[in-house]
Structure 1
């Protein structure tokens, strides 16, 4: 199983020591480095800036939010970064959720799967550069309808370094996971658990069946918290606040995809309680309501021997890469514990 380093998106500013951590990840033999965006920092600029200090690792976005850019703008960025990195770029995409899509980007959220299908199709056409790009879809039209009538189909001026840039899709629900297997080169799961492997494996197989079988290369790069610590409870305490935020506060009461992941995992009552407490402003109580077992189901925490023992279960799943976080010192501990 490969290791990747996930920088994530920024909080109030750039993460301290990010460049040192990226260089350390490459030095340790990590396979990839990933950036993200929410509604603050973007994913593409840090990847280009910090990625320039690397020479081997794959550089990926986890994720670029589709509503933030038109498909052709995203394709232009992919073409550009693929050239600058010497063919090391992977485009990770995601639909995000309605609060961000409609509240921040001012775009409609309904029918995200159909929108994703069109988005990916247009990017593929741009990168392949076989012909001037046209698209007549429900969400995107190239040239646009109802304009001046002067729009014309265009090809990118830049010739692609690779005519097929890998596209991974961030997905949590079964239909979206199946879509990643059908039209993309990889899946980016969040809050994956080995106990849910059968559920996700079935969703992926459904998508592969729609494309006449699994492709020769399909990556599953899962974001997994790894905390090397002698005390399991203290390690879990470092993760609980983030889980409380995602389960309780990321999304609305009636539409929170992260909450649904844990409900499917068998923690429906816990997820409901955490959400109720979090939305009521009782964040500390929401955090305390997360059991250690839930943390352990989706993370690797504790002494190195415990982590190595539990890694065996992950190696039996569909996951091909573990994406870990932390500073340079943390990455060294993680690499040692997982070796």
Structure 2
């Protein structure tokens, strides 16, 4: 199991100390660094900026929001960065949610699975550079001849010859149909709430995708990159403090993010067996009672979602994650010293 440094997306201001984190990850043997985007900073620019000081780690996005760019534009970003980095790009993508897609990008959210399939197919056409890129699908028609067209569009190939035709494409997916499609058409999966206790729920969905005619990968060469906070503590008291500090994040995803219905993050917790808890947390969040919502989050849930313990406990728990099929742990680290310590413990 490999380690990836999850840099995430920016808050109100650019983060500080990131260059030191990236350098430490490269030196400590981390496999990759990953960036994200929401509705502020983008995912590609930080990889180009901080990745220029690296020579070995893979440079991944987790995730690029598909509705923010045309599929061909996403492919242009990926092939450009792949050239600049010497073939180290991992293209992680996802559909995001309706609030962001329609509220921020001004694009329709309907048919997310069909849209994903078209995006992946178009990007693979660009990277293969075998034929001019076309698409007959209803979501991203190429060339475009719909309302407002002047009728002069024509199929094109990328001017630049891609360094790699097989840049890995990983997809963020949460529901059964989306996970199955990811196993069918992608090179890897970026789950949002994957834990040892919930891993069995996902296996039939993955198997369905791998069994489909023309599936791109098998379980043996498919990557699963699970986001997980790893923190080494001195004992039970410190562990309890860390768990309490992480409960607001769990409560936010469970009940405070997205619309009341449908809510894809909340549905994941429901499938994990926390339906009644998720209903109450969301109810309190919508009523403005955030502190009460946070107080409902059980220690056991946070402990299952993350790896927090002494050095020996962290090593044992990491092995449990690996046994479920996780190939990469995407970790957020506070400083370079923590990067080095975690690398030493999990070496």
* TM-score category of the 2 structures, normalised to the smaller one: over 0.9
By how many angstroms is 1:73 displaced?
0.4
Q: Give the 3-state SS of the residue equivalent to 1:121 in structure 2.
A: helix
The counterpart of 2:340, out of the listed 325, 328, 332, is 332
Q: Which runs of 5+ in 2 are unaligned?
A: none
Aligned residues: 339
- Give distance in 2, aligned partners of 1:237 and 1:61: 29
- Give distance in 1, aligned partners of 2:241 and 2:344: 20
Instruction: Tell me the residue number matched to 2:265.
Output: 258
Query: 2:29–2:343: 8 Å Cα contact kept in structure 1?
Result: no
By how many angstroms is 1:279 displaced?
1.6
Instruction: Tell me the residue number matched to 1:294.
Output: 301
Query: 1:118–1:139: 8 Å Cα contact kept in structure 2?
Result: yes
Q: Give the 3-state SS of the residue equivalent to 1:323 in structure 2.
A: strand
Instruction: Tell me the residue number matched to 1:207.
Output: 209
- Give distance in 1, aligned partners of 2:96 and 2:311: 34
Instruction: Tell me the residue number matched to 2:222.
Output: 218
Q: Which runs of 5+ in 1 are unaligned?
A: none
By how many angstroms is 1:332 displaced?
2.3
Query: 2:187–2:222: 8 Å Cα contact kept in structure 1?
Result: yes
TM-score, normalised with respect to structure 1: 0.97
Instruction: Tell me the residue number matched to 1:268.
Output: 275
- Give distance in 1, aligned partners of 2:284 and 2:343: 36
Cα RMSD for the two superposed structures: 1.3
By how many angstroms is 1:306 displaced?
2.0
By how many angstroms is 1:212 displaced?
4.9
Kindly indicate whether residue 313 of structure 2 is the aligned counterpart of residue 306 of structure 1.
yes
After superposition, where does 1:233-244 map in structure 2 within 5 Å?
A: 233-244=240-251
The counterpart of 1:188, out of the listed 187, 190, 197, is 190
TM-score, normalised with respect to structure 2: 0.95
By how many angstroms is 1:312 displaced?
2.6
By how many angstroms is 1:15 displaced?
1.5
Q: CA, structure 1 residues 54+314, in 2 after alignment: closer, same or farther (shift >3 Å)?
A: same
By how many angstroms is 1:244 displaced?
1.3
Cα shift readout 1:149-199 (whole Å, capped 9, x = no counterpart): 111110000001011111000011111111111101000011111112122
Runs of 4+ in 1 over 6 A off after TM superposition: none
Cα shift readout 1:34-90 (whole Å, capped 9, x = no counterpart): 000000000000011001011000100000000000000001001101100100001
After superposition, where does 1:1-339 map in structure 2 within 5 Å?
A: 1-146=1-146, 147-212=149-214, 214-215=217-218, 217-230=221-234, 231-326=238-333, 327-339=335-347
